[in-house]
């Protein structure tokens, strides 16, 4: 018997050993029994010397004959990921696979599409008579250029039948479609800064080189990525293009299709149907697709000819996975680029302070686009409107009302941005002051008027709107504050002739919705957009000329040290939607704290000043990126229980004197949002300037947690390396 170490989906840190009569190559998918269930596993190492009793080792049931193995560089990526994020390797491996490959069933490889052309003999044949016009059209199409079955079927639904006939006559040749066909030239002539940025990256083709493309909103970053991508793909290499969850818009996909019409492109994101995702994953893994576009999970796609990674909107929080395997895809992108010896381009108008800091130290090369790309476009004017002494009507001041009225009358497109969906963020009893909180979370229930519900935005709790106050019986309950639905309703009343469209998670439950919304906007069938985050990033609506920001002040009171950075990025992004083409843009921000540093930097539209000041503050406080952090979290039904487990570990480690001296420990403290979905959440922060020592202490904590978890059966724990949640 030969012994193999296998990765399977179990919450155990060591890999499990199974036996097979012959040596299986690493990366092979197999089926094994675990607790009497047949599950899939990946061979991680072969020919090992087991340290356990040989009689206890179970056999590998069968080999899943995929005709393909998970490659060595992919395995190295997963080994690194599991080690760095202190997560069980088997679970990390399974999390990185699409569902089809997580099951103990062989998966057929995707068929490579064929492209058909007339050969020399075919070309001298007479065309089918013109009266069979569809058949004739097919023939003419093939005479003109090679075509895929898909293309031919759009000419004649029975194309395959004729193709078969003509193939039998030996007039037609079929060949595999190339991953990257011809790439037409761009519609845009790149400006000088764009050209320079693209050229810099191209000179580093074939070697590891990390870049930060810092380009203001509307500066044409996408065109720069496309230019580099075209060049790399024409050399026969593959490109991985990562973008935030929210940015996978129909608009971006349309731009990709336009620019790369003959490139086999595969899309991987959480909404791709499971079967399709497996196919797409394999197309990338087999090198059939030259371009892979996806959200964070696409970072784990095997790509044999990887030649470039792009991370668009690199500052976006959605690159960090906040459950189970808590990885940061942007950071893994840099690791992967090093492994594949290729350039990686991180792009943003408001780079994360981590990435910006790295350009200061020469770790990343900085590329800049300082002007808007469209020849007539200018940055919008940003006005801070102090509302401390202004009367508000549904949260909106007279000045803003007038701005909106005038813009609607002029036929402009306005956007009203607020980061609150629902009707009102809280319901309040005027008589006794009672408010409605979520029983499971430390959060207020949000009023959803149309649905007749109070809903929690953090868990799935909801209840009908109560007719009266449960404390005092008062029937006069007040909706406090504004959500998108309420603003939408109010604007309909204020601007009766305007066509108003609300865009938030409630209005775009399905992907289809987004596509429709986008086309409605582009056809100029909307006068005012009301919406949240979903409207903030990445969109290019050329006629949008007025942006109004409501209720942004809330974020200023957060205790999270990253809150200012996040708010600044969010507001810069929102503002950046205005005035991107021929019309000039105006942005109005209502605030009660116009003197706050975030708003001052926003009004000046100066990322660099903001980043410099923020970094100075972080340095003084020893916060990331000047130190490395990890959070050890515990969740239990009571805060006491949650903190108790963390204290026990802390005491154990103290008694051993095992903690490196340069690692600081803070806590245990409750998380900022202490209660979530029925769990009280506590955490300890480990912080150090030395990454190796930090990871050493995480391992100490981990070992103790594993040791103590049996005596604390009701407490769950997890490790979050480089945490973003506080
Ligand atoms: N060289 C160019 N000449 C003319 N127009 C251009 C050029 N490059 C880009 N554009 C146009 O300018 C607009 C903004 O470009 P793009 O969307 O690529 O910017 P971006 O930097 O990615 O924007 P953001 O970060 O704000 O989403 C687009 O409409 C694009 O077609
Ligand atoms: Zn809740």
ipTM of the complex as predicted: 0.97
Please name which ligand lies nearest the alpha carbon of 581. Answer: 1
Query: Rounded to the nearest whole angstrom, what is the distance from the C-alpha of residue 459 to the centroid of ligand 2?
Result: 4
Q: Is the CB of 596 under 6 A from ligand 1?
A: no
Q: Is the CB of 314 under 6 A from ligand 1?
A: no
Count of all residues that appear for the chain in the document:
726
Query: Rounded to the nearest whole angstrom, what is the distance from the C-alpha of residue 216 to the centroid of ligand 1?
Result: 10
Predicted confidence at residue 364, as pLDDT, reads 97
Report DSSP letters for 58-100, one per residue: EEEEEE---S----HHHHHHHHHHHHHTT--HHHHHHHTS-GG
Q: Which residues contact 383 (CB under 8 A, 6 or more apart)?
A: 586, 587, 588, 589, 603
Q: Which atom of ligand 1 is nearest to the CA of 348?
A: 25
User: Closest Cα to residue 632, out of 668, 676, 672?
Assistant: 668
Query: Rounded to the nearest whole angstrom, what is the distance from the C-alpha of residue 446 to the centroid of ligand 2?
Result: 10
Rg (CA), the chain: 29
Q: In the predicted model, is pLDDT for residue 219 greater than 70?
A: yes
Q: In the predicted model, is pLDDT for residue 94 greater than 70?
A: yes
Predicted confidence at residue 100, as pLDDT, reads 92
pLDDT band per the 50, 70, 90 thresholds, residue 65:
confident
User: Closest Cα to residue 577, out of 549, 606, 520, 535?
Assistant: 535
In three-state secondary structure terms, 338 is helix
Do residues 15 and 51 make contact, with C-beta atoms less than 8 angstroms apart?
A: no
User: Closest Cα to residue 285, out of 139, 540, 109?
Assistant: 109
Q: How far apart are CA 699 and CA 157, in angstroms?
A: 61
pLDDT band per the 50, 70, 90 thresholds, residue 534:
confident
Please name which ligand lies nearest the alpha carbon of 440. Answer: 2
Q: Is the CB of 217 under 6 A from ligand 1?
A: yes
Predicted confidence at residue 248, as pLDDT, reads 61
Q: Is the CB of 215 under 6 A from ligand 1?
A: yes
Do residues 501 and 520 make contact, with C-beta atoms less than 8 angstroms apart?
A: yes
User: Closest Cα to residue 673, out of 461, 441, 420?
Assistant: 441
**Which residue of 310, 373, 547 sits with most ligand 1 atoms within 8 Å of its CB, as the best mutation to test the pocket?**
373
Q: How far apart are CA 112 and CA 155, in angstroms?
A: 21
Q: Is the CB of 371 under 6 A from ligand 1?
A: no
Q: Is the CB of 349 under 6 A from ligand 1?
A: yes
Helices (H) and strands (E) in the chain, counts: 20, 32
More confident residue, 7 or 714: 7
Residues 54-61: what's their mean pLDDT?
Answer: 90
| Tens of pLDDT, residues 112-149 | 788 888 888 888 888 888 888 888 889 888 888 888 88
Residues 492-519: what's their mean pLDDT?
Answer: 84
User: Closest Cα to residue 191, out of 336, 368, 48?
Assistant: 368
pLDDT band per the 50, 70, 90 thresholds, residue 247:
low
Q: Is the CB of 221 under 6 A from ligand 1?
A: yes
Give phi and psi for 528, each to the nearest 5. -135, 130
pTM of the model: 0.91
Q: Which atom of ligand 1 is nearest to the CA of 377?
A: 12
pLDDT, the chain, mean: 91
């Amino acid at each position: 018997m030969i012994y193999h170490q296998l990765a399977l989906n179990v919450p155990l840190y060591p890999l499990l050993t199974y036996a097979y009569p012959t040596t299986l190559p690493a990366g092979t998918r197999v089926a094994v029994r675990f607790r009497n269930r047949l599950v899939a596993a990946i061979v991680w190492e072969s020919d090992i010397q087991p340290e356990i009793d040989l009689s206890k080792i179970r056999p590998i049931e069968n080999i899943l004959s995929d005709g393909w193995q998970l490659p060595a560089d992919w395995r190295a990526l997963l080994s690194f990921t599991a080690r760095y994020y202190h997560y069980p390797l088997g679970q990390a491996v399974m999390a990185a696979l699409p569902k089809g490959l997580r099951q103990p069933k062989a998966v057929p490889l995707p068929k490579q599409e064929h492209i058909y052309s007339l050969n020399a003999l075919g070309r001298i044949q007479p065309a089918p008579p013109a009266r069979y016009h569809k058949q004739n059209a097919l023939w003419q199409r093939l005479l003109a250029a090679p075509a895929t079955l898909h293309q031919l079927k759009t000419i004649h639904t029975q194309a395959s039948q004729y193709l078969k006939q003509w193939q039998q006559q030996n007039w037609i040749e079929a060949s595999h479609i190339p991953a990257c066909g011809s790439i037409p030239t761009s519609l845009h002539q790149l400006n000088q800064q764009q050209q320079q940025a693209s050229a810099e990256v191209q000179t580093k083709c074939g070697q590891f080189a990390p870049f930060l493309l810092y380009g203001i909103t509307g500066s044409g970053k996408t065109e720069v990525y496309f230019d580099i991508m075209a060049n790399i793909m024409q050399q026969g290499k593959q490109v991985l293009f990562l973008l935030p969850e929210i940015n996978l818009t129909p608009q971006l996909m349309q731009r990709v299709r336009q620019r790369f019409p003959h490139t086999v492109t595969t899309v991987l994101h959480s909404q791709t149907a499971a079967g399709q995702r497996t196919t797409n994953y394999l197309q990338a893994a087999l090198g059939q697709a030259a371009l892979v576009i996806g959200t964070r999970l696409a970072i784990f796609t095997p790509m044999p000819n990887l030649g470039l990674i792009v991370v668009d909107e690199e500052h976006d929080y959605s690159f960090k996975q906040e459950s189970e395997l808590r990885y940061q895809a942007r950071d893994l992108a840099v690791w992967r680029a090093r492994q594949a010896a290729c350039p990686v381009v991180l792009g943003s108008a408001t780079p994360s302070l981590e990435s910006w800091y790295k350009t200061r130290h020469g770790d990343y090369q900085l590329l800049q686009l300082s002007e808007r790309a469209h020849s007539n476009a200018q940055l919008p004017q940003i006005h801070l409107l102090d509302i401390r002494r202004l009367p508000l009507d549904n949260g909106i001041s007279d000045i803003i009302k007038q701005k909106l009225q005038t813009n609607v009358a002029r036929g402009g497109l306005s956007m009203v941005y607020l980061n609150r969906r629902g009707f009102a963020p809280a319901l309040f009893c005027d008589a006794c002051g009672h408010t409605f909180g979520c029983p499971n979370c430390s959060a207020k229930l949000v009023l959803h008027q149309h649905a007749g519900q109070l809903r929690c935005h953090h868990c799935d709790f909801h209840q009908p709107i109560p007719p009266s106050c449960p404390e005092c019986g008062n029937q006069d309950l007040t909706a406090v504050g504004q959500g998108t639905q309420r603003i939408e309703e109010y604007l309909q009343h204020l601007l009766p002739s305007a066509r108003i469209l609300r865009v938030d998670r409630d209005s775009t439950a399905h992907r289809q919705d987004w596509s429709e919304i986008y086309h409605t906007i582009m056809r100029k069938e909307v006068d005012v957009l009301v919406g949240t985050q979903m409207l903030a990033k990445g969109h290019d609506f050329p006629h949008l000329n007025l942006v109004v920001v409501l209720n942004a002040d809330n974020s200023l009171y957060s205790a999270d040290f990253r809150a200012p950075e996040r708010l600044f990025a969010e507001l810069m992004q929102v503002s950046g939607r205005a005035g991107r083409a021929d019309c000039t843009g105006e942005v109005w921000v209502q605030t009660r704290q116009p003197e706050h540093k975030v708003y001052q930097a926003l009004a000046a539209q100066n990322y660099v000043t903001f980043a410099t000041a923020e970094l100075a503050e972080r340095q003084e406080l020893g916060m990331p990126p000047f130190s490395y952090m990890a959070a050890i979290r515990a969740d239990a039904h009571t805060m006491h229980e949650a903190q108790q487990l963390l204290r026990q570990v802390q005491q154990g480690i103290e008694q051993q004197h095992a903690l490196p001296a340069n690692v600081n420990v803070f806590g245990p403290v409750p998380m900022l949002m202490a209660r979530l979905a029925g769990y009280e959440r506590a955490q300890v922060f480990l912080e150090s300037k030395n990454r190796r020592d930090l990871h050493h202490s995480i391992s100490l904590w981990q070992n103790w947690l594993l040791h103590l978890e049996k005596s604390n059966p009701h407490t769950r724990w997890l490790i979050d390396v480089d945490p973003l949640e506080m």
